[in-house]
Amino acid sequence: MNAASVVEVFTDGACRGNPGPGGWAALLRCGESETLLKGAASSSTNNRMELQAAIEGLAALGSASRRVRLTTDSQYVRLGVTQWMRRWKANGWRTSARSPVKNRALWERLDALAAIHDVEWLWVKGHSGVEENERVDQAANDAIDAMLGG
């Protein structure tokens, strides 16, 4: 991928039950080049899979700094990164209610990966016909099916 170009990353997570079998997917696009990544976990939550999708998408970019436009249908991920995380870190990874932040290890990993790149965090409503969001949703569900043997 051309380092001077903006890399678009589209992410989604899925879960059958919450908790239950989960899947994640990330579509990376730079110019005409696309890469689709996906994976699954036997027991997870939807929020964990949404975070994992963003983590895997950014991790796939390597350590060279890139301009990234990451689109998620998860307000949990977008607001967590753009608004809540700064306060969580300042409060010793505690929420405003003073309880421990859920999924802290994933948030810390996402924070470290995002710090390498210049990331613009975008949100799109899920299941609203946005092609890339529909593709990663399907891929996340396909990953669950493959793990379950279906």
Q: Look up 32 and say whether it is catalytic.
A: no
How far is CA 95 from each of CA 14, 51, 89, 110, 121, rounded to the nearest angstrom? Answer: 25, 18, 9, 18, 21
Q: Look up 62 and say whether it is catalytic.
A: no
Catalytic entry in 23, 56, 117, 137: 137
Q: Look up 145 and say whether it is catalytic.
A: no
Q: Look up 108 and say whether it is catalytic.
A: no
Q: Look up 13 and say whether it is catalytic.
A: yes
Catalytic entry in 23, 39, 50, 80: 50
Q: Output the DSSP codes for 10-52.
A: EEEEEESSSSEEEEEEEEEEETTEEEEEEEEEEEE-HHHHHHH
Catalytic entry in 13, 23, 39, 57: 13
Catalytic entry in 17, 34, 62, 127: 127
Catalytic entry in 8, 39, 56, 73: 73
Q: Look up 117 and say whether it is catalytic.
A: no
What is the pairing mode between strands 33-44 and 20-30?
antiparallel
Catalytic entry in 12, 23, 39, 56: 12
How far is CA 66 from each of CA 1, 43, 61, 91, 120, rounded to the nearest angstrom? Answer: 10, 33, 8, 30, 11
Catalytic center residues: 12-13, 50, 73, 127, 137
